[in-house]
């Protein structure tokens, strides 16, 4: 898959995951594995640059929180109102494309 297309799909997947609430990078990776049946074998080195882009675009907000594991700080990512709007708009586009594809592939 072309890297630009992969990145767009990954952004949408991350935004969709964050709709359920703030999550750490590790939690996000686990969700990606679960939701894609392992199709996306996401590594930290791929995740954080995309999360950083989403932060720069103000679709995601990252903040450090102390954990119950000795008070270590872990960065949690949450969807912003802009990110929520973006995920809804892109979901609609994908749903329309999904309905149209069978007709295009005949």
User: In this predicted structure, what is the pLDDT of residue 39?
Assistant: 81
Q: Which is it for strands 60-66 and 23-24: parallel, antiparallel or unpaired? A: unpaired
pTM: 0.82
Checking if the pLDDT of 2 tops 50, the result is no
Residue-wise pLDDT for 40-81, tens only, equals 788 899 899 999 999 999 999 999 998 877 778 999 999 999
* Contacts by residues 91-97 (CB-CB < 8 Å, ≥ 24 positions apart): 91/12, 91/16, 94/12
Q: How far is CA 18 from CA 38, 65, 81, 91, in A?
A: 18, 16, 12, 14
């Amino acid at each position: 898959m072309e890297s630009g297309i992969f990145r767009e799909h990954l952004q949408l997947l991350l935004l969709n995951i964050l709709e359920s609430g703030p999550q750490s990078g590790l939690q996000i990776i686990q969700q990606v594995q679960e939701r894609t049946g392992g199709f996306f074998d996401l590594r930290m080195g791929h995740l954080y640059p995309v999360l950083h882009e989403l932060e720069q675009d103000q679709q995601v907000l990252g903040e450090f929180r102390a954990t119950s594991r000795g008070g270590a700080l872990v960065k949690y990512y949450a969807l912003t109102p802009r990110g929520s709007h973006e995920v809804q708009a892109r979901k609609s586009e994908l749903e329309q494309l999904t309905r149209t594809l069978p007709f295009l592939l005949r």
